[in-house]
Structure 1
Amino acid sequence: MNPHATIATIKRILLQLRADHRTVGLIVGVPTLLLTLLYFVYNGSAVFDRLALTMLGILPMLVMFLVTSVAMLRERTTGTLERLLTTPLHRADLLLGYGIAFAVAALAQSLVIVAVAHWLLGVDTAGPLAWVLLVAICAATVGVATGLLASAFARTEFQAVQFMPLVIGPQVFLCGLLAPRDGMPELLRWLSDALPMTYAVKALQAIGRQSDPTTDVMQNAGVLLAFTVVALGLAAGSMPRRTR
């Protein structure tokens, strides 16, 4: 790996993001708008507080998966990736640069959505708000890494979008948002344990219940980071130079 190539990739992606106002709006604005819509659906009731807290882990993962899978596929379909890989730039440098650049975007996204949830929509937690921000960022980076991995198997941007219900849908059903995991059949609990969104929801639920959720948050955040590293490694090994 070449640190200079990675840094150059980070700068290039961040400059592209800054110039693409629609993508910035998707990353930062859409999760906030969806959370606000949920607030009015439940009229600010106690149910909203419970759902909104878990959505702070789900929405960033969903949006970042969509954005990164399409962005990387666009690099391939336009021939940009093929040209880049004729230089000393390694796949690992490219994907690490993508991951870090979109992690910066995820930080901005998480700051906005957590601030809106707490100060405008009144979502309260027993634990510190900083832990909520950490989990939201970790969940978003998982979305980045899995989006990069999914893009390796898509040939068009439409196919990249089609991966979203396949990758994200089961996680939403099994993460504990819609029904307690303890009441699920054993097979579904095992499957839930293999999905990253489960750990984001577990961490956020611990923050909502405990005044000092440090142990639970660190354990689940560590699992999320492990998912990120594994997904980036698999993406680096499977990423083709271009899509024909």
Structure 2
Amino acid sequence: MSVTGGRVPVRHPARHRDPNGLNHFSLRAYRATTVRILRQLAGDHRSVAMILAVPSLVITLLYFMFVDKPHPPGTPSPFDTACLVMLGVFPLIAMFLITSITMQRERVSGTLERILTTPLRRIDLLAAYGTAFSIAAAAQATLACLVSFWLLGLDTAGSPAWVFVIAIINAVLGVGLGLLCSAFARTEFQAVQFMPLVIAPQLLLCGIIVPRDQLPDWLRWISDALPASYALEALQEVGAHPELTWVATRDIAVVVAFAVVALGLAAATLRRRTP
């Protein structure tokens, strides 16, 4: 490059921001965002208690409720049935609430706005949130499964490892749905209000209260379109069969697909509030 008074060698070309965020700083920013979210979550003691302690406490309460209840020989105990339901429901509910509230808090505080001005791509940002909360979900599922199987004597025909895997997948689904719903909320209170709209119908129609095959046709069709129905069915299959059945495999794949679609839609709806 020529300048007045001589020449200055230019050995490094100018760096321009890739509009898609495709540069070698993306991985670094993704890691930094994941670590920041985990630190922020660890500093929120109420959230940590909700993630880790509450599911185990509720499962313990269920144990004492059903411990003396008789049941026909050769059938699962009432505690085994209720515990499997809770291991499927709690990760979904807890991670939906925490993720939607946390993301909305990021919007209100302006943190999300600042992050979106960096080269970090939207999909990388959502991946960071998904990774951080999936780690929290794994901790939740680990503690809940340890308490259920080794302290309270939960008995399933299938491997406890599959119960653990399905619990984590349900939590990731909750993360995806929480991130997606947070895009349509303006306050943390509005984010919480999405729970009756998104989660309650799934709990009512997934077979906990009334078996799905006993629902009216139009309600069964709605139930077939909701991911919680497949999550609960997968857990019931693991509880009843020593080997992973085709139905359980299909149900796990369906829940994973729902989680991926939810994360993808969340990335598509993630926008800056200012141009």
TM bracket (short chain): over 0.9
Quote the offset at 1:43 in angstroms: 3.6
Question: Who is 1:35 aligned against?
Answer: 59
Alignment of 1:56-205 (within 5 A): 56-205=87-236
Cα offset, 1:133, TM superposition: 0.3
Alignment partners' CA distance in 2, 1:218 and 1:10: 30
Moved more, 120-129 or 69-78: 120-129
Alignment correspondent of 2:49: 25
Segment drifting more, 151-160 vs 114-123: 114-123
Q: Contact 1:51–1:177 at 8 Å: present in 2 too?
A: no
The residue type paired with residue 144 of structure 1 is V
1:40 and 1:157 mapped to 2: Cα distance? 35
CA distance in 1, matches of 2:229, 2:121: 32
**Which stretch shows the higher mean deviation, 231-240 or 100-109?**
231-240
Inter-partner Cα distance in structure 1 for 2:118 and 2:185: 24
Select which of 38, 53, 72 maps to 1:14.
Answer: 38
CA shift at 1:89, angstroms?
Answer: 1.4
CA distance in 1, matches of 2:130, 2:137: 10
Cα distance in 2 for residues equivalent to 1:113 and 1:59? 10
Structure 2: which 5+ residue stretches go unaligned? 1-21, 70-76
Segment drifting more, 102-111 vs 11-20: 11-20
Structure richer in helix, relative to its length = 1
Q: In 1, distance between residues paired with 2:134 and 2:222? A: 27
CA distance in 1, matches of 2:175, 2:167: 12
Cα distance between partner residues in 1 of 2:109 and 2:270: 15
**2:217 partner amino acid:** E
1:166 CA displacement: 1.1
Residue by residue over 1:140-163, the C-alpha shift from the partner in whole angstroms, topping out at 9 and shown as x without a partner, is 000010000010111111111111
- Decide whether the 8 Å contact of 2:142 with 2:164 is kept in 1: yes
How far apart are residue 3 of structure 1 and its match?
Answer: 3.0
Percent of matched pairs sharing the same residue: 56
Segment drifting more, 229-238 vs 208-217: 208-217
Letter in 2 for 1:59: F
Given the alignment, which residue of 228, 240, 249 partners 1:218?
249
CA contact (8 A) 1:127 1:210 kept: yes
3-state SS, counterpart of residue 146 of structure 2: helix
Deviations 1:121-176 (A, max 9, x none): 22100000000000000000000100000101111111111111111101111111
**Inter-partner Cα distance in structure 1 for 2:247 and 2:160:** 15
Report if aligned partners of 2:237, 2:245 keep a CA contact under 8 Å in 1.
Answer: no
Deviation of 1:106 after TM superposition, in Å, equals: 0.5
The TM-score with structure 1 as length reference comes to: 0.95
The alpha-carbon deviation at position 214 of structure 1 amounts to 4.5
Alignment RMSD, CA only? 1.5
**Residue 4 of structure 1, CA deviation:** 2.9
Unpaired runs of at least 5, structure 1: none
